[in-house]
Amino acid sequence: NINPKIINKIRTEFQTDPSFTPAKIAKASSAAEGLCKWVIAMEQYDRVAKIVAPKKAALAVAEEELTAANKVLQGLRDALK
């Protein structure tokens, strides 16, 4: 993931600046416009990744529990035969 210091700097210095939009920056340089879009996308990715990561971990735990429960269930089914 992205260093928290860098993300904090992006959020405080760049995203609060009303002129930090791809449309406004494109007037100066198309390359800078691309970088602006990339910076915005990386900030959004970081925000979403922090929401998704705990959910992925919980999913992995739930899948392990499901696998264990299915093994027990299969054992009980086999015992009934």
| Per-residue pLDDT at 45 | 95
Token pair, residue 22, equals 């791809």
What CA–CA distance (Å, rounded) separates 62 from 79? Answer: 26
Residue 56 CB neighbour total at 10 angstroms: 10
| Per-residue pLDDT at 1 | 74
Sequential DSSP letters for 17-41: -TT-SHHHHHTT-HHHHHHHHHHHH
pTM exceeds 0.95, yes or no? no
Residue 15 contacts residue 43 (beta carbons within 8 Å) = yes
Regions of the chain where pLDDT drops below 70: none
